[in-house]
Chains A and B, each alone.
Chain A
Amino acid sequence: MTEYTTIIGLEVHVQLRTRTKLFCGCSTEFRPDAPNTQTCPVCLGLPGALPVMNRYAFDLALRTAVALNCDIAEFTKWDRKQYYYPDLPKAYQISQFDLPFSASGWLEIASDDDPNATRRIRITRAHLEEDAGKNLHDESGRGGDSRVDLNRTGTPLLEIVSEPDLRSASEARRYLEQMRTLLRFMGVSDCNMQEGSLRCDANVNLHVRTSDGETTATPIVELKNMNSFRNVELAIEYEAKRQRMLWEKTGQSIEDAPKSTRGWDADRGVTFAQREKEESSDYRYFPDPDLVPVVVSREEVEQVRRQLPERPDVRRRRYQEQLGLSAYDAEVIIDQGPEFAEWFDSVAAACGDGKTAANWATQDVLRDLNADGMSLSRFPITSQVMGHLLTWIVDGRLTTSAARDVYGVLKQRAADGQVLTTSLVDSLAAERETVRDTEALTAAVHAAIEALPKAAADVRSGKQAAVGPMIGMVMKQVSGADPKVVRSLLLEALQE
């Protein structure tokens, strides 16, 4: 029987979260609406302009490489990668060729076969380079001039190249998700695929093992223009199938055909052959004489390691082991990214109960954020106010539904422009404070038993579910009563 193994290596380009570009002081803000406004002589490649390395970009790159367990080179240099294209105004890209600043790392992902086991995907190298601009072609079909927007030119990009260690499309997707989570928690990139701050190319081929025990590799295909993780997965799946069919038909191996490039057409769900870039075979790399090499000492690397933010896997473990969260809740919170996790941590600390904080964070708050498509930074309830509200629940002074009520009022007040404070929470909560064991409650319990004799009899004969309507009646009469308390009072009274 013939066995097919999909072999995948990923090249991820991450835009680093710097305010300014890699070799000049221009802003890196995403401004497709105002082309060529974030430019200067340096990133326009004007005659006589010279690059100067943005040290902060280099530091972010170092932090990423350390988080990816890479070895950091003590000496690294800049090289020119030369090719002609209208979005490349100098006709070379400043990149790193033979001495990248980091190499030989790894990223752990959950394995396909056993979700509790992890697999190490090796990272070949990570290097820093400048982004190109964007060519804007006339899409009206009337053959208008093409235009070039150089706002993005010179934005710092980190290229992270994996070894061909991934074995399935879903594994590739998990690698990307894991990478994105890590990069976001390291504070190095916002990893926004829509704005192009995270891009991915995939090298895909098959290892075919025939019944006679021989293994052959199919030609490598580089997949491009996949603009979401889902599309990466779909494109690889499609490509593996296509290569399998091609192999069955032609038997073409890696020796028979050079590496080729294919694009992903998300609408039709197919990959298609792309024309190779002009003379892409020889970039005539050579050291950029305008820049000086960068020397990184062991001490600097150690300092970066010491100051690394909490890694997402460490955080997930902390949530489960110290805060008692379920694996699912921990994952949901981590998946939202570092801002949300910080917010959650602060709510949990303020209310003193991680589980309650997690329930609210993953349900009410996330639902509202998703419904309004709002970012956490614009969410009106601060972690302090939220935490304070939750202390009322944790102390048993407010029912969950009463707290939801307060939460709703808080959102409304915020929408009306009021500043939310903990004392506002206190006054809203006090109005809804849980009533327990008071005379009113006892009276209402007895009144309910009298009013619903059939239900009372059912309960007495062992049908506990029949208590529901009576609870409802008491709750209606005594607002703010805790249904748990009402239920036990009713059962007590019925047993008498």
Chain B
Amino acid sequence: MPVSSLPSRPVAELLTALSSGNLTSRQLVESCLEAISAQDDTIHAMVHVDAEGALKRADRIDERRRAGEPLGLLAGLPVAIKDNICCRHLPCTCGSRMLESFRPPYDAHVTEAIQAADGIIIGTTNMDEFAMGSSTETSAWGPTRHPDDPQRIPGGSSGGSAAAVSAGLVPLALGSDTGGSIRQPAAFCGCVGLKPTYGRVSRYGLVAFASSLDQIGPFARDAVGAALLLQAVAGHDVRDSTSVRHQVPDYRTELSRPLSDLRIGLIEDHFAEGLDEEMADAVRRTVHQLEERGASVRTVRLPHSKYCVATYYLVASSEASSNLARYDGIHYGRRADGCTDLMDVYCRSRGEGFGPEVKRRIMLGTYALSAGYYDAYYLTALKVRRRIREDFDAAFRNVDVLAGPVTPTPAFRIGEKTDDPLAMYLSDIYTISANLAGIPAISVPAGRSENGLPLAVQFQAPPFEESRLLRLADAVLS
């Protein structure tokens, strides 16, 4: 096969070629590096590429393969990680000047897991600053561009990971999803993006945005790739108290189980005004295909979904205001020069280090947690959050999976929403509720729009039913 297109081959094909000896990990890494140097000046999906380290690890894995040693699940496949996941040998900047010089002295759980599975971490991907954004435009290192149209954004906040996979720079990537940050860019870029159940993947080493919402998940070109990467990183971790002791199924084997008698609920509330016609048609078309293959379809209501965006921005910003307080210029990260006293160090370091969107959310969250406002904002948001979760519990009593759009529109233009934060926030309107409810959700490509942009469908399932989502993705894509 032609070397340049290697990273965009199906993962199953790559694994077969690797194990049969037709392909080495070095060749695969080299082809990723070539693709990056050919395309990434335009796309700007990567923040840091560790070419030397990746090749070295590839050689070691190739040696072990030649020696007949058994290899882990990822068997020498390159993986890119979002720039908010700690890895000892890479910088971790979170797309922020605040952490421009930060190199984590420890590995995240997922980093360890990828390496234990013989995956090769090839570099870090661009993101909105501290994962706050829906377009990668808030990255201090400049926006990532849509692989199919450089005038458009790839979505966000994990836009770099989505663009890297879709452009064929890497076969697999990890992102993090707090309100749609995996699914929305996957939808815009036309790849598979899965947000697992809260607690399914350890957050240890993921730089926190909103602790009760953040989850790490995979990007891949197909369901097999997503299943494989999820398999490698899922499972209980004692270092994350919110990680759950729930057995990890063999997601790849699960893929071959038939989807018989599947009951699909079409979320009526997500087809109201604001949804692009082409997007709505893509969802209906996909669901109809599944119906033709034996699934039953009904419409369901999520009555509290209209409160999702408000609830999300209170919960997420409150937690973020606390999580980001540690960047104070004292212990690590950016410290402003020439400060006169402690307050000056705090104010100027944070003033220089954070971009406007991060500041906006810190202020919003600080306000919501302040004495006299806590009950009206944060506490009320927690109560609504419970109602939103109950909506899902009720829906899942009658259906196995919920279907709807991922985003209101296909990928928008660079700069189109940067001056209108509310419009930007609304691009996550359909994805936020899965984070608030803690349930797994997946974005699956569903054709293209008239002007060639990817369209997508979202499926949501009850907790720990990731394999159901992966089977659906596989069914839709094959």
Give the interface size bracket for A toward B.
20 to 34
Residues of B close to A281: CB separation below 8 A? 371
Indicate if the CB atoms of A289 and B204 lie closer than 8 Å: no
Q: Shortest beta-carbon distance, B334 to chain A, in Å? A: 13
Indicate if the CB atoms of A41 and B212 lie closer than 8 Å: no
Q: Is A384 an interface residue (CB 8 A)?
A: no
Residues of A close to B207: CB separation below 8 A? 47-48
Residues of A close to B204: CB separation below 8 A? 48-50
Interface 0/1 of B346-376, CB less than 8 Å to A: 1000000000000000000010011100100
Contact among B85, B211, B366 with A284 in the assembled complex (CB-CB below 8 Å): B366
Indicate if the CB atoms of A286 and B318 lie closer than 8 Å: yes
Asked if A91 meets B241 with Cβ closer than 8 Å, knowing A48-B206, A278-B343, A286-B374, the reply is no
Q: Shortest beta-carbon distance, A258 to chain B, in Å? A: 15
Indicate if the CB atoms of B212 and A284 lie closer than 8 Å: no
Q: Is A247 an interface residue (CB 8 A)?
A: no
Indicate if the CB atoms of B331 and A45 lie closer than 8 Å: yes
Residues of B close to A49: CB separation below 8 A? 106, 204-205
Q: Which 9 pairs, one residue from A and one from B, show the smallest C-beta to C-beta distance?
A: A91-B325, A289-B211, A289-B212, A47-B207, A284-B369, A48-B205, A48-B207, A282-B371, A48-B86
- The interface size of chain B toward A, counting residues with CB under 8 Å, comes to 43
Q: A47-B102, A48-B203, A286-B322 are in contact. List 19 more A-B contacts (CB 8 A).
A: A41-B104, A44-B331, A46-B332, A48-B92, A48-B206, A50-B203, A51-B241, A86-B342, A89-B326, A91-B322, A92-B322, A148-B331, A284-B369, A284-B370, A284-B371, A286-B369, A286-B374, A289-B210, A291-B241
| Residues 172-220 of B at the A interface (beta carbon under 8 Å) | 203-208, 210-212
Q: Is B328 an interface residue (CB 8 A)?
A: yes
> A interface, by DSSP: helix, strand, loop or mixed?
loop
Indicate if the CB atoms of B332 and A148 lie closer than 8 Å: no
Asked if A90 meets B326 with Cβ closer than 8 Å, knowing A44-B331, A48-B206, A284-B366, the reply is yes
| Residues 437-488 of A at the B interface (beta carbon under 8 Å) | none
Q: Shortest beta-carbon distance, B81 to chain A, in Å? A: 12
| Residues 23-45 of A at the B interface (beta carbon under 8 Å) | 41, 44-45
Alpha-carbon distance between A13 and B104 when the two chains are bound, in angstroms = 34
Alpha-carbon distance between A92 and B370 when the two chains are bound, in angstroms = 14
Q: Is B261 an interface residue (CB 8 A)?
A: no
Indicate if the CB atoms of B106 and A46 lie closer than 8 Å: yes
Q: Shortest beta-carbon distance, B448 to chain A, in Å? A: 37
| Residues 374-429 of B at the A interface (beta carbon under 8 Å) | 374, 378
Q: Shortest beta-carbon distance, A433 to chain B, in Å? A: 63
Interface 0/1 of B320-335, CB less than 8 Å to A: 0010011010111000
Indicate if the CB atoms of B239 and A92 lie closer than 8 Å: no
Minimum CB distance partner of B98 in chain A: A47
Residues of B close to A278: CB separation below 8 A? 343
Interface 0/1 of A270-314, CB less than 8 Å to B: 000000001001101010011110000000000000000000000
Alpha-carbon distance between A48 and B102 when the two chains are bound, in angstroms = 12
Indicate if the CB atoms of B104 and A290 lie closer than 8 Å: no
Indicate if the CB atoms of B366 and A53 lie closer than 8 Å: no
Contact among B86, B108, B322 with A80 in the assembled complex (CB-CB below 8 Å): B322
A residues sitting closer than 8 Å to B (CB atoms) are 41, 44-53, 80, 82, 84, 86, 89-92, 148, 278, 281-282, 284, 286, 289-292
Alpha-carbon distance between A418 and B210 when the two chains are bound, in angstroms = 64
Q: Shortest beta-carbon distance, B101 to chain A, in Å? A: 13
Q: Is B19 an interface residue (CB 8 A)?
A: no
Q: Shortest beta-carbon distance, B201 to chain A, in Å? A: 13
Minimum CB distance partner of B330 in chain A: A86
Q: Shortest beta-carbon distance, B3 to chain A, in Å? A: 35
Indicate if the CB atoms of B331 and A52 lie closer than 8 Å: no
Residues of B close to A52: CB separation below 8 A? 238-241
Indicate if the CB atoms of B371 and A41 lie closer than 8 Å: no
Minimum CB distance partner of A85 in chain B: B342
Minimum CB distance partner of B105 in chain A: A41
Alpha-carbon distance between A52 and B237 when the two chains are bound, in angstroms = 11
Minimum CB distance partner of B332 in chain A: A46
Indicate if the CB atoms of B206 and A84 lie closer than 8 Å: no
Residues of B close to A89: CB separation below 8 A? 326, 330-331
Q: Is B36 an interface residue (CB 8 A)?
A: no
Indicate if the CB atoms of B328 and A84 lie closer than 8 Å: yes
Asked if A47 meets B241 with Cβ closer than 8 Å, knowing A278-B343, A286-B318, the reply is no
Q: Is B23 an interface residue (CB 8 A)?
A: no
Indicate if the CB atoms of B330 and A82 lie closer than 8 Å: no
Residues of A close to B205: CB separation below 8 A? 48-49
Q: Shortest beta-carbon distance, A208 to chain B, in Å? A: 32
Alpha-carbon distance between A89 and B332 when the two chains are bound, in angstroms = 10
Alpha-carbon distance between A395 and B396 when the two chains are bound, in angstroms = 83
Indicate if the CB atoms of B346 and A84 lie closer than 8 Å: yes
Q: Is B242 an interface residue (CB 8 A)?
A: yes
Residues of A close to B332: CB separation below 8 A? 46
Residues of B close to A91: CB separation below 8 A? 322, 325-326, 328
| Residues 416-451 of B at the A interface (beta carbon under 8 Å) | none
Q: Is B118 an interface residue (CB 8 A)?
A: no
Minimum CB distance partner of B350 in chain A: A84
Alpha-carbon distance between A84 and B322 when the two chains are bound, in angstroms = 11
Minimum CB distance partner of A25 in chain B: B239
Q: Is B137 an interface residue (CB 8 A)?
A: no
Indicate if the CB atoms of B108 and A48 lie closer than 8 Å: yes
Of the candidates A46, A53, A292, the one having the most CB atoms from chain B within 10 angstroms of its own CB is: A46
Indicate if the CB atoms of A290 and B318 lie closer than 8 Å: no
Contact among A41, A92, A148, A290 with B325 in the assembled complex (CB-CB below 8 Å): A92
Alpha-carbon distance between A290 and B212 when the two chains are bound, in angstroms = 7
Residues of A close to B85: CB separation below 8 A? 48
Q: Shortest beta-carbon distance, A155 to chain B, in Å? A: 18
Q: Is B94 an interface residue (CB 8 A)?
A: yes
**Between-chain CB contacts (< 8 Å), 29 pairs:** A41-B105, A45-B326, A46-B105, A46-B106, A46-B332, A47-B94, A48-B85, A48-B104, A48-B203, A48-B204, A49-B106, A50-B204, A52-B239, A52-B241, A80-B322, A82-B322, A89-B326, A89-B330, A91-B325, A282-B370, A284-B371, A284-B374, A286-B369, A289-B210, A289-B211, A289-B212, A290-B208, A290-B211, A292-B241
Residues of A close to B378: CB separation below 8 A? 286
Q: Shortest beta-carbon distance, B126 to chain A, in Å? A: 17
Asked if A53 meets B241 with Cβ closer than 8 Å, knowing A46-B106, A47-B104, the reply is yes
Q: Shortest beta-carbon distance, B117 to chain A, in Å? A: 20
Q: Shortest beta-carbon distance, B343 to chain A, in Å? A: 7
Indicate if the CB atoms of A290 and B322 lie closer than 8 Å: no
Indicate if the CB atoms of B325 and A90 lie closer than 8 Å: yes
Q: Shortest beta-carbon distance, A290 to chain B, in Å? A: 5
Alpha-carbon distance between A90 and B203 when the two chains are bound, in angstroms = 17
Q: Is B319 an interface residue (CB 8 A)?
A: yes
Alpha-carbon distance between A148 and B342 when the two chains are bound, in angstroms = 13
Contact among A41, A148, A290 with B241 in the assembled complex (CB-CB below 8 Å): A290
Alpha-carbon distance between A185 and B415 when the two chains are bound, in angstroms = 68
Q: Is B295 an interface residue (CB 8 A)?
A: no
Q: Is B99 an interface residue (CB 8 A)?
A: yes
Interface 0/1 of B334-346, CB less than 8 Å to A: 0000000011001
Minimum CB distance partner of B367 in chain A: A284
Q: Shortest beta-carbon distance, B226 to chain A, in Å? A: 23
Residues of B close to A82: CB separation below 8 A? 322, 325, 369
Residues of A close to B94: CB separation below 8 A? 47
Minimum CB distance partner of B379 in chain A: A286
Minimum CB distance partner of A44 in chain B: B331
Minimum CB distance partner of B106 in chain A: A41
Indicate if the CB atoms of B203 and A47 lie closer than 8 Å: no
Q: Shortest beta-carbon distance, A130 to chain B, in Å? A: 14
Alpha-carbon distance between A86 and B342 when the two chains are bound, in angstroms = 9
Indicate if the CB atoms of A47 and B369 lie closer than 8 Å: no
Alpha-carbon distance between A289 and B108 when the two chains are bound, in angstroms = 19
Of the candidates B84, B242, B322, B366, the one having the most CB atoms from chain A within 10 angstroms of its own CB is: B322
Residues of A close to B242: CB separation below 8 A? 289-290, 292
Indicate if the CB atoms of A47 and B330 lie closer than 8 Å: no
Residues of B close to A50: CB separation below 8 A? 203-204, 239-241
Interface 0/1 of B72-107, CB less than 8 Å to A: 000000000000111000001010000100101110
